[in-house]
Homo-oligomer: A and B are copies of this chain.
Amino acid sequence: MRPVEPPDPPSTNATLDDVARVAGVSRATASRAVNGGAKVSARAQAAVDAAVSTLNYSPNPAARSLVTRRTDSIAVVVPEPEDRVFTDPFFAGTLRAVSRVLAEHELQMVLLLAPRGAVGDRTLRYLRGRHADGALVTSHHRQDRMAHRLAELGLPSVFCGRPWSGSNLVTYVDTDNVEGGRLAAEALLARGCRRIGTVAGPEDMTASVDRLEGWRAGLAAAGVLRDRVAHGDFTVAGGERATRALLEEHPDLDGLFVASDLMASGALNALRATGRRVPQDVAVVGFDDLGVAEHTSPPLTTLRNPVAEMADQATRMLIQQIRGQSSAAPVRVVMPTALVVRESC
């Protein structure tokens, strides 16, 4: 049981004028006091504090935003359908980290979803209208030209993952995907595999391209040159489909690098369905290590994708940019990856 509540404050919201009147000061002073004011006497501050709490005052964000030109919110742009966003651990990890950092800074997060690769008018209008103080772009696709567009807008923005073009225009944080691909190839080679294929990601995403490039480089370095590539869409079903296609074309495959664990999980299904044992017949290396890899059977050997660190870092850089604490020059940060050995390779 709780004590009886005090009578409700009037439902129509109090304004700063009301606070000023009750506190017996001017609106200007009330404003200063409310905003953790410098240049406010202790007496005035106390009076305003009291008035705020009796009136249950809460500043009108629109009015404040109108004059400060800040919105205290940042937009997270995700050019993917809802299905993937709330399903793929990559986004879960990213959003989790972002929202944690934003909470520290009393910033709100506005999620801007767009159909795959199509950063629509709506999103762009939103950003152009300065609804948000900055943009964090993740998982963008080649055709959306986001880096250029954001650079044009002049809106503070940071990419999670290398942008397609214009990587010199904008700050970004990325995993060392090339190195990851190379490590995967090496691991498979070290195990003795020689007929190695890969299920790469969509061709319009830099992460896919970079992982593929690294994988090719790794194989080339060992003189294993035949290119066995299929493309998936970073989903379980897509991975399964791509793997089946790959197996049909190259039935003698003995090693497989799959560019995400979700797809690798599909790949395991395909391998099982076609009567292949992992890792005895075909060794598999995934990518991400975000909770999926440890629960497949067999558990996946994979590459760590430090998405939480990336998102954390990216968000902090964005906040600095917004606050004008960082130089305008675009920065790139590349996070290391590492092989996590389990049972599939």
Contact = CB atoms under 8 A, between A and B. Distances in A.
Given A11-B154, A111-B111, A128 B56 contact: yes
Given A11-B154, A87-B92, A113 B122 contact: no
This protein's copies in its complex: 2
A109 B111 contact: yes
Contacts of A60: 66, 129-130
A130 B92 contact: no
A13 B128 CA distance: 8
Interface of A: 8, 11, 13, 56, 58-63, 65-66, 71, 73, 82-83, 85-87, 91-93, 95-96, 99-100, 103, 106, 108-113, 122, 125-126, 128-131, 152-154, 291, 297
6 closest residue pairs by CB, A with B? A86-B92, A62-B65, A58-B129, A62-B66, A82-B96, A86-B96
B110 A58 contact: no
Nearest to A114: B103
Contacts of A66: 60, 62-63, 66
A99 B113 contact: yes
Contacts of A95: 82, 86
Nearest to A291: B87
A103 B93 contact: no
A66 B59 CA distance: 12
Contact of A109 (B62, B110, B122, B291): B110
B59 A129 contact: yes
A190 B297 CA distance: 32
A152 B8 contact: yes
A86 B82 contact: no
Nearest to A131: B61
B99 A122 contact: no
Nearest to A111: B109
A111 B128 contact: no
A342 to B, nearest CB: 17
A307 to B, nearest CB: 11
Contacts of A100: 82
Given A58-B128, A92-B92, 10 more contacts: A11-B153, A13-B128, A13-B129, A66-B66, A82-B99, A87-B92, A103-B113, A108-B110, A109-B111, A111-B111
Nearest to A296: B295
A111 B99 contact: yes
A157 to B, nearest CB: 14
Nearest to A76: B111
A110 B110 contact: yes
A265 to B, nearest CB: 9
A130 B56 CA distance: 13
Contacts of A63: 62, 66
Contacts of A82: 95-96, 99-100
B96 A83 contact: yes
A154 B8 CA distance: 11
A96 B91 CA distance: 13
